[in-house]
Chain A
Amino acid sequence: MTKPTVIETRKLTKTYNADAAPVTALADISFAAEEGSFVSLVGPSGCGKSTLLQILAGLIASSSGDVLVDGVPVRKPMPDKIAVIFQDATLLPWKTVIQNVTFPLEIQKVPERERHERAQAMLVLVGLADFAARHPHELSGGMRQRVSIARGLAQNPRIILMDEPFGALDEQTRLKMGNKLLRIWTKTNKTIFLITHSLTEALFLSDVVLVMSQRPGRIIDVIKTGLPRPRTYDMIGSAEFGEARNRIWHLIGGDERVTAESTGL
């Protein structure tokens, strides 16, 4: 029995009309993610990863091709179906943690009691229930990003799009946050689409890693990690993991712009 497809793109392209010649940012992007899966997208910097995410989120329009969420074309932001989590937590500093989580629901006109219940439940899930009444500046960077994840989850979307969510954190916090994310994900069974430049992070977290080429960005490989769950940090040192990482490294490597740092560890 196959699981239903939550998000799908069909021959997606994006071309920017620069002064003289048009610049193709994305070429022929087609992929599908099934319900409850964890999909990552890696690729050299400047390959159009963030552009793709913005198209998936309905924030910018593609030049051709379609994005479908539950079979419905995405033409504008759909906060009840798609939640976006950014590199910066983008919490509103004058609101408390719980007010931040309820805010998108307020915009969506969710009744007050329900939005409070949903927010409370998600704060419990990310382990920040005790911090509901605090303000963002009282939290660490990792905690703020967890609030932002709770805020996305509270929207009760079909898919969560994450744009380098842990990019601003140090490597150690980053892996810990990844692990926390996995635990949250297991409990919610949401579909996650994560953009990262860390190959280690992508392999450690995902079921499927999409590998994107340099501009014009196209998907050059789809790697099923096949690692058992729950994942442990030891797996990062395993031979399978190393092989998979090398494979991606060679796919996007050979390019001098790929720095040692972008391979993760």
Chain B
Amino acid sequence: MSRPTLIRLIVIVAILIVWEGVRQLNLVGPLLLASPTEIAAALAKSWPQFFAAFQITLLEIVAALVIAFALGVGAGLIAGATPFNSLVSGPLLASLFAVPLITWYPLFMVWFGIGIASKIAYGVVSGFFPIAINTMNGIRNVDQQYLVYSRAIGCSRAQTMARIVFPLALPSIIAGLRIGVALVIIGVIVAEMLGSLGGIGYLITSYRNLYEIGAVYLGILLSLLCALFANLALSALERRFTHWREMQMAL
């Protein structure tokens, strides 16, 4: 085991001990904080329910991510393709990104129903803007010399885009995906909390209504787990495609 991993583990164990201690000594009331053992008890009691909810939420997140990636990158590519396009869409995307989306959620429920479709749709909209904006900026910021070079060696427009511009913009696109992933996860879980029939967010809200704080914390931990998975997947993607960028930066 490497040194940083070991230190991380020690930190986690220390936090758990202090956390448990705070509750055992009743320094903080049972409605504010659930101790690790209380969370474990909630898991032992209702794990089938949480497992089912976790699957729903994960499905919603993955579906929303895939759609948000495709739409966001696609829109960003179109918006960044010409100076005119970005002149038109840049301010539009930026101002739409600034709209508090949550105010729209009641409408999403009207449009897509109370099931998973509205959660996916809301997740997509949450993640779309940062991905589209970063993709557009990444493409706009590609050094003009590369475009001239690309024409000089006889690349078609499609070849220029696919073989030169897109890879050069990839670090910026992935930075957008990072923000997008976080917002999609938040979007999906918040949507579940506001009105739904299943999922982690739904359980968090219903257990909160029952004052079962251990189960609420279990739900929070599971949403954390979703975020963790998504970030790990993204890091793998980043290492695979943009390792050259990091090496360049290091010089």
A54-B148 Cα distance, complex, nearest whole Å = 9
Known contacts being A92-B167, A94-B244, A135-B247, is A59 close to B155, with CB within 8 Å?
no
| Nearest B-chain residue to A88, judged by Cβ | B145
Which of B148, B163, B241 is close to A59, meaning CB atoms less than 8 Å apart? B148
| Nearest B-chain residue to A54, judged by Cβ | B148
Which of B154, B167, B251 is close to A107, meaning CB atoms less than 8 Å apart? B154
Asked whether, in the complex, the Cβ of A92 is within 8 Å of the Cβ of B159, the reply is no
Residues of A close to B152: CB separation below 8 A:
57, 59, 77, 79, 82-84
Q: Which B145-162 residues have C-beta < 8 A from chain A? A: 145-146, 148-149, 151-155, 159
Nearest Cβ in chain A — how far from B133, in angstroms? 23
Known contacts being A94-B167, A94-B244, A137-B251, is A107 close to B149, with CB within 8 Å?
no
| Nearest B-chain residue to A161, judged by Cβ | B152
Asked whether, in the complex, the Cβ of A107 is within 8 Å of the Cβ of B146, the reply is no
Residues of B close to A185: CB separation below 8 A:
none
Q: Does A90 contact B (CB under 8 A)?
A: yes
Q: Does A73 contact B (CB under 8 A)?
A: no
| Nearest A-chain residue to B159, judged by Cβ | A107
Asked whether, in the complex, the Cβ of B146 is within 8 Å of the Cβ of A93, the reply is no
| Residue of B143, B146, B149, B248 with highest tally of chain A CB at under 10 A | B149
Residues of B close to A156: CB separation below 8 A:
none
Asked whether, in the complex, the Cβ of B245 is within 8 Å of the Cβ of A93, the reply is yes
Give the contact-size bracket for chain A.
20 to 34
| Nearest A-chain residue to B152, judged by Cβ | A84
| Residue of B154, B155, B244, B248 with highest tally of chain A CB at under 10 A | B154
Asked whether, in the complex, the Cβ of B244 is within 8 Å of the Cβ of A86, the reply is no
A122-B164 Cα distance, complex, nearest whole Å = 23
Asked whether, in the complex, the Cβ of B153 is within 8 Å of the Cβ of A77, the reply is yes
Known contacts being A59-B148, A90-B145, is A137 close to B247, with CB within 8 Å?
yes
Q: Does A198 contact B (CB under 8 A)?
A: no
| Nearest B-chain residue to A78, judged by Cβ | B154
Residues of A close to B163: CB separation below 8 A:
103, 107
Asked whether, in the complex, the Cβ of B148 is within 8 Å of the Cβ of A86, the reply is yes
Asked whether, in the complex, the Cβ of B153 is within 8 Å of the Cβ of A86, the reply is no
Known contacts being A93-B245, A107-B155, is A86 close to B167, with CB within 8 Å?
no
A165-B135 Cα distance, complex, nearest whole Å = 31
Residues of B close to A13: CB separation below 8 A:
none
Residues of B close to A92: CB separation below 8 A:
164, 167-168
Residues of A close to B244: CB separation below 8 A:
93-94, 135, 137
Q: Does A108 contact B (CB under 8 A)?
A: yes
The digit string for B233-247, where 1 denotes a CB below 8 A from any CB of A, is 000000001101101
Q: Does A155 contact B (CB under 8 A)?
A: yes
A82-B151 Cα distance, complex, nearest whole Å = 12
A155-B145 Cα distance, complex, nearest whole Å = 19
Which of A57, A82, A86, A138 is close to B145, meaning CB atoms less than 8 Å apart? A86
Residues of A close to B159: CB separation below 8 A:
107
Q: Which B92-126 residues have C-beta < 8 A from chain A? A: none
| Nearest A-chain residue to B148, judged by Cβ | A59
Asked whether, in the complex, the Cβ of A59 is within 8 Å of the Cβ of B145, the reply is no
Asked whether, in the complex, the Cβ of A79 is within 8 Å of the Cβ of B148, the reply is no
A135-B243 Cα distance, complex, nearest whole Å = 11
Known contacts being A93-B245, A93-B248, is A88 close to B151, with CB within 8 Å?
no
The 5 residue pairs across chains A and B that have the minimum distance between CB atoms: A104-B153, A84-B152, A79-B154, A90-B149, A137-B248
15 residue pairs of the A-B complex, CB under 8 angstroms, read A77-B153, A77-B154, A79-B154, A88-B143, A88-B145, A90-B145, A90-B146, A93-B168, A93-B248, A94-B244, A104-B154, A135-B247, A137-B247, A137-B248, A138-B247
Apart from A57-B152, A59-B152, 15 more pairs, CB < 8 Å: A79-B152, A82-B152, A84-B148, A90-B145, A92-B164, A92-B168, A93-B168, A94-B241, A103-B153, A107-B154, A135-B247, A137-B247, A137-B248, A138-B247, A155-B153
